Chain A
Amino acid sequence: MTAGTTPYRSGLRAGRDGFPQLLRAEWTKFRTVRGWVVGTWVAALVMVLVGLVAASGFHAFCGGDCSVPAGPDGEAVTDMFYFGHQPLEGDGSMTVRVTSLTGLITYPPDHPNDIVPSVMPWAKAGVIIKESTRQGSAYAAVMVTGSHGVRMQDNYIHDTAGSAGGVSAASPRWLRLTRSGDSLTGYESADGTHWTRIGTAYLAGLPATVQVGLFVTSPFYMVVSPGIAGGTSSRLTQATAVFDQVSLEGDGTGGAWTRDNIGIGPGGPALAQGGFEESGGRFTVSGTGDIAPRVDGGRRIEDTLHGTFVGLIVMIVIGSMFITAEYRRGMIRTTLAASPGRGRMLAAKAIVIGSVTFVAGLAAAAVVLPIGEWILRANGNYIFPVPPLTELRVVAGTAALLAVVAVLALAIGTMLRRSAEAVTTLIVMIVVPYVLAIASPLPDAASEWLLRLTPAAGFAIQQSLPRYPQVNSALLTPLHRFYPLEPWAGFAVLCAYTALALGLATFLLRRRDA
């Protein structure tokens, strides 16, 4: 009889099974499968190539002279209007009564051979105080509009609504704009005695002498032909407003009116020349153009990132295979034997595939954006300037979009276990809605819902120009890559889908036998 035997113990030290080891194991798996590494390179290269090809395909449509005025914050603006003005030194105020706002639209699609009397919804007429007659200089204005009521706007991007309703001789509108230092306050009234404040604008650094006066402007009528072969064209419009009871207070005023057709040179169609006539205290002013942030007539930085969705398809394939390959080979049983914590295993996989994709996407976006911009400029395109933070958001957001989609692919792959089904599900969830929204005959409303409800909403992170509600442009549609959701809101929709899928995948992974 022997005393108790000692059980065999391996001389090797036990391995540690912490989370870093798990990460390292998954990273080793990723980098040793040649197809996945090559595929990630392909995703990045395809993004760059498609982006550069697309950038080369943009031809300038401003005929060489692509200068666009920049507003006080550096953004691209449209600054065209008829301006009858006087200098104002120091503080002062101007009050007018608007009794009529009418308009003309040339050759709209429903009357292709006529000039139709109709006023544009965002035709504007009112009182403006402007730093100078230079395009893009600071201003504040109170105005009546075609169909958006009374507004106070300043420095192109700020807009405050006053009372609703149009103007007529029976129901005129009184407008008043006062300057006191750097602050300009707009008032409106229905009768000239009871005044309501609309808002106050603070224009820092406004010089002592500014120009104050009457302005009228009317934006182009944009015609967008739908469909894949669709294009856009614009029609000239004109607005005419009648003002009376004009009173000006302040130093420097009281002289003759100076007339300027801001932003529109002599020559060209007679309708665009505008006019300013005074008779017996009644002023009739006509003008064409807009005072607003600009959204058309140039390219945007994200026009260099059109390869993103091709890179996305590649990363969808790799992301889902990162787990389905293990199921196909039975490797998943080895993996789970080595690290029984199934949730932790999925988390490690998600971190590895997410990080790898983010780095590849960041590199691709950081390369293609500057080169693409250079090509666009070399082709004579104007590129809308954006703040550096926006540019950073577009580049990092593109990388994050790819990374989150790769993680979503991993989660769907975990649920479905088979790569063909997983890839198909993801393509139907993300790529098909995107293609249908931006390149199909679906109407804009349907396209916008696709880009709100499906994970394709995440593409909004690439939009560099804000969607200003006060810009009336038929161009603010998915067809022109203006997304219905704000950039971060759209990205949040994608993240919500991913979080949901990851939760469901963890649940199923724990519950089912491998």
Chain B
Amino acid sequence: MRQAVHAEWTKLRTEPGTAWLVLAFIALTVALSATAAAAVTCPSTGCGLDPGRLSLTGLDLGQAVVVILAVLAMSGEFSTGMIRTTLAAMPRRITVLAAKSAVLTVVLLAAGSIAVLASVLIGQVILPAHGFTAANGFAPFSLADGPVLRAAAGSVLYLTLIGLLSLGVASAVRDSAVAIGVLLGLLYVFPVMAQVVTDPDWREHLQQIGPMTAGLAIQATTNLNSLPISPWAGLGVLATWAAAALMVGGLLLRLRDA
């Protein structure tokens, strides 16, 4: 297993696209988070916005890059035929998938921490100047605050789980374009549907089962009672999606010819 992880790490590290994708992910996430935080001003009457969710808006976009990074880690090998070499060297296919998951997890934890930390720190500077103050009923926005810390740490986990979900789907679908299409459709269809549907029950159910809508509940720092699903339970929904995808992907990887 150690050799397998080492091999996968070498592959991911030396792939020319990886560094660019990681950089793009961090840049896009931080840029969108900062823009969103700077664009909103909360008047003293309240604006119904959650500072945690707002300062981490960039994840909505950054996760798309995470999807690509994770999909390419698997489907890139299928498109070049490299997968046959990999499987000749490491015939235990589940080990290969596990090694890929482990390497991806470490990379995403690291990159996610940087992006999330930068977003939160920028939020910490911008938000108080935009009406998110104690006078307006907001707790000071800082990592020392329990819910904010949970939102930040949970967001890093969210990104990692999105990566694992993508890896599972890519193992099952193999083709990078199809896998990316499936994943981004799966992620974005639930928030859009929940937004357009007016029936409160439907809306709540859609938000409870969608990997993105449920997973991002972890970013909430205020009005926790009005959430469709509690923060950690929401992340659990996403973890279930990721586990299911990895299981199906692993099974298909075992059953099919490469």
Contact = CB atoms under 8 A, between A and B. Distances in A.
Same complex:
yes
Interface string A101-123: 00000000110000000000000
Given A309-B192, A314-B181, A438-B195, A428 B64 contact: yes
Contacts of A453: none
A56 to B, nearest CB: 8
A436 B53 contact: no
B257 interface: no
A435 B48 contact: no
Contacts of B77: none
Interface string B190-218: 01111111110011001100000100000
Interface in B34-68: 35-36, 39-40, 43-50, 53-54, 57, 60-61, 64-65, 68
A229 B228 contact: yes
A57 B205 CA distance: 11
B202 A432 contact: no
A316 B72 CA distance: 18
Q: For the complex, would chain B's binding face be called helix, strand, loop or mixed by DSSP majority?
A: helix
Contacts of B226: 229
B71 interface: yes
A-side binding surface: helix, strand, loop or mixed?
Answer: helix
Interface string A429-454: 00110111011111101100000000
A321 interface: yes
B180 interface: yes
Interface string B19-36: 000000000000010011
B192 A435 contact: yes
B248 interface: no
B40 A435 contact: no
A324 B48 contact: no
A446 B203 contact: no
Contacts of A59: 198-199
Contacts of B48: 225-227, 230
Interface string A297-339: 0000001001001100110110011001000100000000000
Contacts of A410: none
Contacts of B195: 228, 438-439, 479
Contacts of A227: 48-50, 53
B64 A427 contact: yes
A54 B49 contact: no
B181 A442 contact: no
B177 A306 contact: no
Contact of A420 (B60, B68, B191): B68
A506 B9 CA distance: 39
A306 B188 CA distance: 12
Contacts of B175: 419
A53 interface: yes
Contacts of A424: 64-65, 68, 180
Contacts of B45: 109-110
A435 B60 contact: yes
Contact of A441 (B53, B189, B196, B203): B53
Given A57-B199, A226-B47, A420 B61 contact: no
Contacts of B171: none
Interface residues of B, number: 53
A315 to B, nearest CB: 9
B197 A58 contact: yes
Contacts of A445: 39
A303 B196 CA distance: 8
A420 B184 contact: no
A128 to B, nearest CB: 34
A61 interface: yes
A54 B196 contact: yes
A408 interface: no
Nearest to B197: A57
B193 A313 contact: no
B197 A440 contact: no
B193 A53 contact: yes
B197 A313 contact: no
Given A420-B75, A420-B177, A58 B191 contact: no
Q: How large is the interface on A (under 10, 10 to 19, 20 to 34, 35 or more residues)?
A: 35 or more
Contact of A439 (B177, B180, B192, B228): B192
A346 B99 CA distance: 42
B181 A317 contact: yes
B64 A443 contact: no
Contacts of B57: 440-442
A461 interface: no
A443 B47 CA distance: 10
Nearest to A112: B45
Contact of B54 (A303, A313, A438, A441): A441
B240 interface: no
Interface in B63-107: 64-65, 68, 71-72, 75-76, 79
Contacts of A436: 32, 60-61
B159 to A, nearest CB: 16
Nearest to B180: A423
B178 interface: yes
Contacts of A441: 36, 40, 49-50, 53-54, 57
A481 B195 CA distance: 10
B176 interface: yes
A51 B199 CA distance: 15
B64 A432 contact: yes
Contacts of A365: none
Nearest to B65: A424
Nearest to A224: B48
A436 to B, nearest CB: 6
Given A228-B213, A303-B196, A443-B39, A435 B177 contact: no
Interface of B: 32, 35-36, 39-40, 43-50, 53-54, 57, 60-61, 64-65, 68, 71-72, 75-76, 79, 175-178, 180-181, 184-185, 188-189, 191-199, 202-203, 206-207, 213, 226-228
Interface of A: 35, 50, 53-54, 56-59, 61, 109-110, 225-230, 303, 306, 309-310, 313-314, 316-317, 320-321, 324, 328, 419-420, 422-424, 427-428, 431-432, 434-436, 438-443, 445-446, 479, 481
The 8 closest A-B pairs by CB, nearest first: A57-B197, A419-B177, A57-B202, A420-B176, A317-B181, A110-B45, A225-B48, A439-B195
Given A230-B48, A436-B60, A441-B49, 7 more contacts: A228-B213, A309-B189, A309-B192, A310-B189, A420-B177, A441-B36, A443-B40
